Structure 1
Amino acid sequence: MTYKEANNISIKDYLNSLGIQPVTEKGSYGMYRSPLREDNTPSFKVDYNANLWCDYGTGEGGTLIDLVMKQNRCNAYGAICRLEQGETASFSFHGKDLPERDTKRQAASPIEIRRIQPLQNPALMRYLQERGISPGTAAPYVQEMYYRIGGKPYFALAFRNDSGGYELRNPRFKGSTSKDITHIRQQGEPRDACFVFEGFMDYLSFLTLRMKN
Structure 2
Amino acid sequence: MSGMIDAKLFEQLKAKIDEDIQVRDDLSQVVQKLERDVSYAQGILSRVHSTPRSSYASFLPQVEAAIREEIQTVGSLAELASKHPYYKYNSRWTRSLQDAIVTVVICGWLGGMSSESRPGELGRLLTIEEVGEIFQQPVNLKDRDAFHITIEEYLSALTSVTDELSRLAVNSVTLGDNELAVKISSLIKDLHAGFQLLNLKNDFLRKKVDGVKYSVKKVEDVVYDLSLRNLIPK
Interval of TM-score (by shorter of Structure 1 and Structure 2): under 0.3
The higher-RCO structure (CA 8 Å, 6+ apart) is 2
Q: TM-score normalized by structure 1?
A: 0.24
TM-score of the superposition, structure 2-length normalised? 0.22
More strand by share: 1
Larger Rg: 2
